[in-house]
Structure 1
Amino acid sequence: MERWADTVHTARQILAENIKALRSQKDWSQEALAFEAGLHRTFVAHVERGVRNISIDNIERLATALGTTPGALLADRD
């Protein structure tokens, strides 16, 4: 029997993919995004890999830096 997490994108995966895609569109490094959001580069790297839990406050910081909304970062584009 397949687990739910094996068959759908989790919010963490969706967030990671959206952040990475928007960062790439801006041609920013993880370090540049981290600087703009006031976060550490390794934190951004962990979020993009989906291995770090993230607070709503930091989602908002990343969204603002990327010129989007927290809701857009969490929207499944598939």
Structure 2
Amino acid sequence: MPKQPISDAAATFGARVRSRRNELGKSQEGLADDSGIHWTFIGQVERGQRNVSLHNILKIADALQVDPAELVRGLSAPQDQAEPDKETP
């Protein structure tokens, strides 16, 4: 069974990455090469299965030749669910 997106924001971010990558005619492997991020991670980002760090957002945006703001504009952090990458005390 496929893993679900970790949040609506992650799913939207991933869809924006995929859309721009397709506009440029790049494969996931091509985007991975251009950004210095492994292609399996790119796939997980596009499926909304990763909480992407600021540095990786900047690398992906640079490789997609887009302002990082376009990838995150209007997104909100989930309010009613625990963030998967956040440690609990």
Q: Report the TM-score when normalising by structure 1.
A: 0.81
What residue ranges of structure 1 are gaps of 5+ in the alignment?
Answer: 1-8
- Following superposition, the deviation at residue 52 of structure 1 comes to 1.1
Tell me which protein shows more helix as a share of its residues. 1
2:62 corresponds in structure 1 to: 64
1:46 aligned to 2:41? no
* 1:1-78 correspondence runs (5 A): 10-76=8-74
- Aligned-partner Cα distance in 1 for 2:15–2:68: 14
Q: Report the TM-score when normalising by structure 2.
A: 0.71
- Superposed CA RMSD in Å reads 1.3
Sequence identity percentage: 37
Larger mean CA deviation between 67-76 and 12-21 belongs to 67-76
Q: Does the 8 Å CA contact 1:18/1:73 hold for their aligned counterparts? A: yes
- Aligned-partner Cα distance in 2 for 1:49–1:13: 6
What residue ranges of structure 2 are gaps of 5+ in the alignment?
Answer: 1-6, 75-89
